[in-house]
Structure formats: structure tokens, C-alpha cells
Amino acid sequence: METVKIRNPGMYWDIAANIHVPADFDAGKRYPAVVSNHPIGSCKEQTAGNVYGAALAKAGFVVIVPDASFQGGSGGEPRWIEDPEQRVKDYRDVIDYAQSLPYVDPDRIGMLGMCGGGGYSVKATIIDKRIKALVTITGVNFGRLMREGFSNFDPVGALKGMATQRTAENAGADAQINIFLPASVEAGKAAGITDIDVLEATDYYRNRCPASGSGTRMLVSHAAPAIAWDAFAFTETLLTQPIMLVFGDKPGGFGAYRDGMELYGRAASKHKELVVVEGWSHYDLYDKPEPVRQALEKLVPFFKTHLGGTATASRPQAAE
């Protein structure tokens, strides 16, 4: 695995990304590539990289796993901004970078997104037809979640609070950071939290796979754009690439089951697959061996089919 810094025209900071390559990697050949995008509050060292990125590389793909701008190892100030449009731009900049690599086939690039990264990946696929196939794992429309559970179903009130906080910070007040999760599962239960997604997210991020780049937090004064954003807008007409939507059948408050079903029904894609992993939840699909096995059993052949297989081809030789 190699860690790189990506900067494209118009950016004022670098995107940090890990590149996973097959075990028999030959830099003189070209490979299909997958950009693997981490969940909200996560980072490239967690499930998008250490589980799905590693597995896809083992299956013969070059996999690029970026950190979101303002988070993890990527640049951007202030820290912990969660901006959907910036995240989509990040993904497209990563594709620019992937196409510049001599060992990546620029016409065989797919995208995988997890949780909120799944919703962002949907939007990127809608507008960027360089993406030839899309898989979401427990994909969530973050704008919908912000308008509902993350704003206590009062999005206008949340926007007013964000405006007040931004005015205060401009006058010198301390930044307000929204920590998504309790300090521990026990603390969450003691506070009366019962939602399976919140408790299992806490177990994943605090116990199973803690990482220094994973903030699980958001700067409140810069969160307003997310409330007015919709990952699924125009899917009926513009989402035309092959898609696979993977989620568990144990629904939780973050709404991956609901969003997956909605997207499957709305997408214009002629080839779309629904993979409901029975008996498992949103966060089980992050790293639990059995549900991950079931997801990979479907998504690896899907990418092989729609990215032209994993057989390598020699790089075109310059004319003499």
C-alpha cells in the first residue's frame, strides 16, 4: 500500500489517499481501478480501505481510498467540515489522478461508497460518466438524514442555529463541534440511546476499529449546505451506469435500508442489482466476516463484469 497526496488545479490543499494494488502488481500493465469512499466521520484506514479496498486489490483491482477534504490526512481548514459538494469534487479529482497513472486503465474506473460516502458516490456517478459502475455499501442520503434525524426533524430550526453559530464564530466565539457518537456503548445506553445504528457505530469507531484520522464529528457553523443537499436528485434521468446497492435487512436510524430501496426504484440504470444481506445490520457490513463475505461475493463479480474484468493489458507503446 502506498500513501499519496493528490492536488489538482483549483485546489488549495492536498487530498491524502491510500493506493492498494494486487499482490502480483506489474507497473508495466494497466488495471481496472475502483475509488473507495469512506463513511461520514470515517477515514481511509477504516472499512473503505482496510476491508473493502484490501479485498478488491486482492481480486485484481487498483483501489484508491481518499480521505475527505478537511478530515483525516487531507488538507483544508477549518477542520471537520462535512460539505457534500466538496466531497463529490474530491472524488472527481481522485478520478483525474487515477486517469493520470500509467498502470490504471482510464476507461475502466468504478466507484464504491459506504454509508454517507455511498450517497456522495451516487451523486458523483450521476454527473461523471467516467465512472463506469457503482456499488454502495449501506449507502445513505446524507442530506435526507440531516433534514430528519440529525436535525431532530426541524431542519429550519437547525439552519437558524447554524446561522447564529456562524455569526458568533465570526465575532470570535469558539467553534461548535457536533460529536456524532457517545464516548462508549455503555455511555450511550445510559443516556437512553436505543437506536441500533448509533450504538453499533459507537462500537465500531470506539472499540473495533479506532483510527486517529476518524473524527466522527462535524463543524456546526459550516453544516448548512448538507441540509439543502440531495444525493438522489435526478437519478430517474441521469443515473444511467450499472449500480449495485448492498445493505442489511436490520434497519436503523441512519436509513440505509430505506435509502437503498428508494434508489433502486428511482435509478435510470438499465442494470441495477439489490443485495439485501439478511440478518445483518448497517455496521455489521463494515467489518464482520460473514456479512462482508456475502457483500464481496456479489460486488467483486459485479465490478469484474462492468469494468471489463481484471485481466491486465500491456500499456500502449509509443510509436517509433
**pLDDT tens profile 184-213:** 999 999 999 999 999 999 999 999 999 999
Domain that holds residue 302: 2-151+229-310
Condensed to tens digits (0 to 9), the pLDDT of residues 103-156 reads 999 999 999 999 999 999 999 999 999 999 999 999 999 999 999 999 999 999
Q: Dihedral of CA 146/152/158/164: which sign?
A: negative
Count of domains observed in the chain: 1
Report whether pLDDT(298) > 70.
yes
Within-domain flag for 127 = yes
In a domain, 206, yes or no: no
Do the domain assignments include residue 289? Answer: yes
**Does 241 fall in a domain?**
yes
Say what the pLDDT of residue 15 is.
97
The answer to whether residue 173 sits within a structural domain is no
> Is residue 186 in a domain?
no
Question: Each residue of 11-33: pLDDT tens digit?
Answer: 789 999 999 999 999 999 999 99
pLDDT digits (tens, 9 = 90+) for 76-102: 999 999 999 999 999 999 999 999 999
Q: Could you tell me if residue 296 is inside a domain?
A: yes
User: Does some domain include residue 67?
Assistant: yes
The span from the CA of 22 to the CA of 308, in Å, is 16
CATH number for the domain including 52? 3.40.50.1820
